[in-house]
Amino acid sequence: MRLNITVLSAASLFSFFGGPVLAADLGQAYPPEAPVYAPLEQASGWYLRGDVAYNFKSDVKAKVDFVGGSSPSDYEMKRGFSPFIGIGYQFNDYLRGDVTVGYSQRDTTYFETTADLWEAMANAYVDLGKYYGITPYVGGGVGFANVNYDFQGPVYPGLKSGDTNRFEWALMAGVAIDVTPRLKLDLGYRYANINGADLYKNGDVTVSDDGIKTHQIRAGVRFNTW
């Protein structure tokens, strides 16, 4: 009987003193701290850009209207390069826009004609996320093109070159590669469609085309000013 009382007394003392000591040895448990919320910093600010585009050849459908009918007069715009410059704004990590101006001079097979094209475009892009410093994107633009033909060879008697302002739209896709925190290399593709217009008139004779469609591979740089 005395042995049972001794065992119970020892168990009681261990429960009273040993529990806190064991808990102290194991370390006191605290509830986990709530994470501090930090909003993702979004890129924004102005940027400057410069590009050089390589134009693939373009087949242009044209026709000559005259009294009593019309006849096709299709021609080809030859390959060439076009410089572009622009200024833009990065609204956030995914959306940006810019305004660009470009120029190209394209030789054609239409009576040894040279075509001068000035383009002014407003463009919008969606950046599709950054992967190891590479950001793919898609975009589109609208604007105007000034198209002027300069004859270098014999043409219809009295036929004068036309200077036309036309609506233009474009679709783009490409990738931007981080070179430095502020400098990006931009590699892309652009399809542009310039509306058709009358090119020349001489009395009852009118020469017109149904539009100029261009395919370009572009390389350039973007410099972020923020």
Tens-digit pLDDT profile for residues 134-183:
999 999 999 999 998 876 555 554 455 668 899 999 999 999 999 999 99
Compute the distance between CA of residue 150 and CA of residue 112 in angstroms, rounded to an integer: 9
3-state SS class at 121: strand
- Residue 31 within a domain: no
- Residue 51 within a domain: yes
Q: Identify which of 56, 160, 161, 157 has the alpha carbon closest to the alpha carbon of residue 116.
A: 161
> Is the pLDDT reported for residue 26 higher than 50?
no
Instruction: Please give the pLDDT value at position 10.
Output: 45
- Residue 190 within a domain: yes
- Residue 165 within a domain: yes
- Residue 144 within a domain: yes
Q: Which residue has the higher pLDDT, 66 or 78?
A: 78
- Residue 34 within a domain: no
The whole domain housing 132 covers 45-224
Q: Tell me, what CATH number does 79's domain have?
A: 2.40.160.20
Q: Which residue has the higher pLDDT, 203 or 225?
A: 225
pTM: 0.74
Total structural domains within the chain? 1
